[in-house]
Amino acid sequence: MKKQISFAAIGLAAAMAVPAFAGPGLADGAAKFVGNITQSNTAPGPNDTYTKLWNQATAENGCKWGSIEGTRGRYNWAGCDAAYNWAKNNGGHFKFHALLWGSQYPSWLESLSVDDTKKAITAWFDAVKQHYPDLEMIDVANEAIRTGNGQYHSNYTKTKIIQAMGGDNNGDYAFLTTAFKMARERWPKAILIYNDYNTIQWNVDQGINLINTIRKNGAPVDGYGLQAHDLMSQGGGANGTGGGGACLAYSTFKSTMEKIHSQTNNFPIFISEYDIPTTDDNVQEQCIKEQFSYWFEDPYVAGITFWGYIYGQTWLNCNNTANGCSGLIKNGQDRKAMTWLRNYLKSNKGVNTTGLAGGTVVDPEPQTPYGGKAAAIPGKIEAENFDVPGKGVNADGTSNQSYSVANSGNGNSDYRKNESPNLYKGATGVVIGYNNNDNWYEYTVEVAETGTYTMYAAVASGAGGAFTLSMDGKAITESISVPAAVGGTDVFTEYNKVSADVNLTAGKHILRLTVAKEYFDIDYMTFVKKGEADPEPLSSSSNDVPTTTTSSSSGTTPDVAGSSSSAVMAIGVSLDYEFETLQAFDVFDVNGMFMGRLRAYSFNQAIETVKYSDVKFANGTYYVRNKDTKQMQSFRIAK
């Protein structure tokens, strides 16, 4: 079996208690550090603002290879010493940034041969080891995600670094594995981190792949650094710069963090260079409220480092409109985000179960079946009854998560409302919708006897979808196609049955459903012995008549049709067919607020559908607009 299974209720682990640091900063006594950068060759003093605010230091530039060894063999440690000595003198944390990077290396490195480059890197690692033998945290490698065409997130290809460190054979990142092994030899007790940008908004999958690849290849890496420069609607871009606009949608932010955790088996995360560049105090406060508070309570985040805090002295300029606009303190006064941060840290200590940088280690808790009892096979499995997630990471590196979703917060059902999968009112009760590629859901099952079974699934899709099934990590089906709706790509109310034969072994197992092609909704799965009929066949009308509100799995247009007044059901036998085919109608309130989309054959039918929908509209004036012709009609609801 892939995972240990427990069917008993498990209490909250005592290890969730947070340690109390005796140190500087607003996060003193918290479960994780909240740090910032140093920018000069002088260490902040014990009464300086820096020491009052932060309890971790990273030198913005002082520890980079090019800053220290500008002339080969001659070392200037002043800027790096300032951050290191501050941590030593004030009881804070220090992170060395960075050993290996395709930027800000010494200019003389570009002219060296492969052999001389390896000698230079080895000498550099040795010099850092001699000067700082007791480093706590190290960004061993920085910005090495492959971007295609033989390029990387930084200019490694301008040097012979990659060749000197073992190459990069079809994306195996061997040069990074070598760097981490060299670092572990010199700092056996240090926390070794890989650090990169655009890993929350733009290059999520590439970052996950890099971390998983080097771990698989034996790199002794302890943490994954997310620079977090890309958390605004105009964030990201070259080197993670830019910023501006609104905050990254919270549902996207949250589901991305969950995806990173899920697909790296809850590997420890460091938020390493966080900033929100905007001149709008309200926007900055909103972003930091949403994002910082999430990370602070995220058990798999070990620490958070802001990348500057004084307005006018940070590296971002809001697209050339305001220098240093990510600063939290302006002209000596707190911006709204800084005021919020002070208040938040007074009463919140956070959670850190990584065991790194002061965090505690939580004993793994296995996922458990929803309702406390494994789903029986043969029998019916409601899609929404996926397992309850566990905690921590098992000894074999597997996580105890029971699902992974790329987007959350889109459902309209209150069922399991604190879980991330998108649950909608629909079909026979509740369905899972908004199914992106690679989403997966797990179910603890008990198979009565070994044999061949037929699985029937009730599914709906506007444009067609697909999924696979596996048991204990091994595939038991090929891709199972979900047919497209006859009514059009916006229709997620036409349910069909799809089936597959599966060979199962008696006993308790973990069944996983994985989305192979987005988007579709799934209501339930039924397993019967092969040769037996589907116990719940869909009637011919059930494919034509939606039963209740379901999701728009594309995430763009909620369906406002209700169970007894859906767009199709309203057709009846005496409809006025204004159009020859079903039309998409958008519904707006009097203020132009989009309320949803439905399908009908006429304006009258669309209006009647809204008036008598299970979705209760307030009294007032509304508009329906034909999505294609742009014609519009108004109507009133008065109850």
Answer yes or no: 518 catalytic: no
User: How far is it, in rounded angstroms, from Cα 92 to Cα 86?
Assistant: 7
Q: Is 419 designated active site?
A: no
- Which tokens hold the place of 518? 């987005």
The three-state secondary structure class of 607 is helix
Q: What is the 3-state secondary structure (H, E, C) of 186-245?
A: HCCCCEEEEEECCCCCCCHHHHHHHHHHHHHCCCCCCEEEECCCCCECCCCCHHHCCCCC
| Cross-strand pairs, 37 | 58
Q: Which two tokens stand for residue 472?
A: 């204990």
Annotated catalytic residue within 60, 136, 258, 273: 273
Q: Which long-range contacts (CB under 8 A, 24 or more apart) does 481-489 make?
A: 482/517, 482/520, 485/460, 485/461, 486/543, 486/544, 487/568, 487/582, 487/599, 488/462, 488/582, 488/584, 488/599, 489/462, 489/463, 489/554
Helix (H) or strand (E) holding 594: strand 594-600
d(CA 94, CA 409): 37
Question: Which of 60, 69, 136, 143 is an active site residue?
Answer: 143
Instruction: Give the 3-state DSSP-derived string for 519-583, with helices as H, strands as E and coil as C.
Output: CCEEEEEEEEECCCCCCCCCCCCCCCCCCCCCCCCCCCCCECCCCCCCCCHHHCCCCCCCCCCCE
- Give the residue numbers marked as catalytic: 143, 273
